Chain A
Amino acid sequence: MAETLLKVAGLQAWYGESHILHGVDFEIRRGELVTLLGRNGAGKTTTLRSIMGILGKRTGSIAFDGKETIGLPSDLIARLGIAYCPEERGIFSSLNVDENLRLPPVVKPGGLSIEEIYKLFPNLLERRTSQGTKLSGGEQQMLAIGRILRTGANLLLLDEPTEGLAPVIVQRIGEIIRQLKSRGFTILLVEQNFHFAATVADRHYVMEDGRVIDTVASSDVQQSIGKLQSYLGV
């Protein structure tokens, strides 16, 4: 069994005065693809933002590759090799596609080259000089994923990459996520779309009220489908 890459223990986090995470515990092994499932407001996005260090106050422990990151600013966390693709995608309107793609600095060797990324997302190559926010939703999502593949980060945090996209695009993103896994990336995926998540992940953590309340291995999904549906309220 592969070693643990990320270990979150007793993580609590706040947005201003509101206490969102009440002790989150989970871990991801190197090369795994793990999802956080849960209803709106369960704390999935907040967990990703806490790992990335872009939240005001957090306590507990987040160890990446054996190194404690709970006290680090987000730029140093990124330099350890964690990359983040936010739910709102965060494409910069004052940058063109190519500039958006080249923006995140390379933090480690082993990332994809620009050519490889354009090969993975041929649409982006065609529109490389367009303003970033002029792209379609699906293209923006591909750009948001593509730009973090160059940096050499080995842990990717993907926040709802399929949200609001047409089924054919969702399928394409699923293929890409599987490809990334086979290339050795470790991925933590937040999803509302359980059916999508079930097709790509090794394991699912279920979150509720700022805690992880259950773990389901992908191989057990069929047996646990009733339980999962009650968790997610679908």
Chain B
Amino acid sequence: MFELLGIAPQALFGQLLLGLINGAFYAMLSLGLAVIFGMLNVINFTHGAQYMMGAFAAWLLLGLLDVPFWASLVIAPIIVGLFGIVIEKLLLKRIYHLDHLYGFLLTFGLALVIEGLFQWKWGSSGAPYPNPIPGGTNLGFMFLPTYRGFVVVAALVICLATWYGIERTKLGAYLRAATENPTLVRAFGINVPRLITLTYGLGVALAALAGVLAAPIQQVSALMGVNLVLVVFAVVVIGGMGSIMGSIVTGFGLGLIEGLTKVFYPPASNTVIFVVMALVLLIKPAGLFGQTK
């Protein structure tokens, strides 16, 4: 079959793996965006910068304090999540009653400031982060680096755990209810403003966790989140704003589509996601899994 298509299986599976890994990051990042958007009604354009901060936190923890990768996987998201909580308390909560545009301007401006500061302090060229699980397995049809396999599995676990937390737990029920009708949920005695702060912190921590996982694959650099976040926004739009399962499925799916495009028609690989976005918006403006309000 492969001979028929004129494509080596190594190339095909290699790109599919790459697509799966990219998809894992799309899924984790769009998941955080969806959770934040559902609860805060703010499109968090700082997400890419917070992803970058996660990677930097891990890199600095290793360089300055010799904290190993596995510990950073927990510590870095907590640090960046706390930073997110401060941002929400100081800035975001003042604009909830305003139009979406203000949320966009604020979070976009914040991203520029944060990325600018990191660039000024550490420059634009990336720093490498050592691979915590070197080596790999020859599967016959392709070579699978162990760490990359780990990232795909870890992303799946993180996504499903988040989905479970939101769809199947008491705290998740509060979140879903408060997304629908915050006034009534508050009138039941739940401190909704605190719930909102917590949600933002969790969404940001998810971005940072993705950043830590990305550190050994990519260079840790101030601008690593810039291009990624553009694609992630397309994923969110395709999946449907605020849909949790939609983000996960669309994230992985689009990563694979991107990988396949690299095999069959490489010049289109950078644009294919945006073409899909345009098509989805034409046919189903609320997104594949979104509900029109």
Contacts and interface: CB of A to CB of B under 8 A. Distances in A.
A209 interface: no
B39 to A, nearest CB: 12
Contacts of B177: 92, 94-95, 103
Contacts of A94: 176-177, 179-180
Contact of B184 (A73, A86, A93): A86
A186 B25 CA distance: 54
A143 B121 CA distance: 57
Nearest to A147: B188
Contact of B173 (A79, A103, A107): A103
Interface residues of A, number: 26
B192 interface: yes
Given A95-B177, A103-B173, A103-B174, A73 B186 contact: yes
B190 A105 contact: yes
B173 A105 contact: no
A78 B187 contact: yes
B183 interface: yes
Interface string A90-122: 101111000100111101000000000000000
Given A86-B184, A90-B181, A79 B176 contact: no
Contacts of A78: 186-189
Contacts of A76: 189
Nearest first, the 5 closest Cβ-Cβ pairs linking A and B are A78-B189, A104-B188, A94-B176, A74-B187, A90-B184
Determine chain B's interface SS by DSSP, over half rule: helix
21 contacts: A52-B187, A54-B187, A74-B187, A75-B187, A78-B186, A78-B188, A86-B184, A90-B181, A92-B180, A94-B176, A95-B173, A95-B176, A95-B177, A103-B188, A104-B188, A104-B189, A105-B189, A105-B190, A107-B189, A151-B188, A151-B189
Contacts of A86: 184
Interface of B: 170, 173-174, 176-177, 179-181, 183-192
A17 to B, nearest CB: 15
Contacts of B183: 54, 74
Interface of A: 52-54, 73-79, 83-84, 86, 90, 92-95, 99, 102-105, 107, 148, 151
Given A54-B183, A75-B192, A77-B187, 16 more contacts: A74-B187, A75-B191, A78-B188, A78-B189, A92-B177, A94-B180, A95-B176, A95-B177, A102-B170, A103-B173, A103-B185, A103-B188, A104-B189, A105-B190, A148-B188, A151-B189
A77 B190 CA distance: 10
B263 to A, nearest CB: 39
A53 B176 contact: no
Interface centre among B173, B176, B192 (most CB of A within 10 A): B173
A93 B177 CA distance: 8
